[in-house]
Amino acid sequence: MTDKLIPLPTPGDILKAEFLDPMGITPYRLAKAIHVPQTRIAAIVKDGREITADTALRLSAFFGMSDAFFVNLQANYNAMQARAKLAAELATIERFVLAA
């Protein structure tokens, strides 16, 4: 039996599933509303392009979220990806303990 992990949803997957689809908003409409090229939103949703700080602030303003919401969504995704990639090496790092 192989250990197969479920792929992490990208921030674009979450944007689509939790915001766009339920609210009936197309990537084109969102792009126009937040003043970015439609290709940027399409790349985030379809291709897993990272959400930059610029785009994150625009999304937060549009959806009424905190400024940090989409920034943190991307940062957490990046950390989980790095943690999975570096798991074996991270396991060899001995934690520092301050002597009493």
Total number of domains in the chain: 1
Is 2 within the bounds of a domain? no
Q: What is the pTM of this model?
A: 0.86
Instruction: Render pLDDT for 20-76 as a digit per residue (tens, 0 to 9).
Output: 999 999 999 999 999 999 999 999 999 899 999 999 999 999 999 999 999 999 999
Q: Could you write out the three-class secondary structure of 6-50?
A: CCCCCHHHHHHHHHHHHHCCCHHHHHHHHCCCHHHHHHHHHHCCC
Instruction: Check pLDDT > 80 for residue 88.
Output: yes
Structural domain including 41 reads 11-91
d(CA 28, CA 19): 14
Is 3 within the bounds of a domain? no
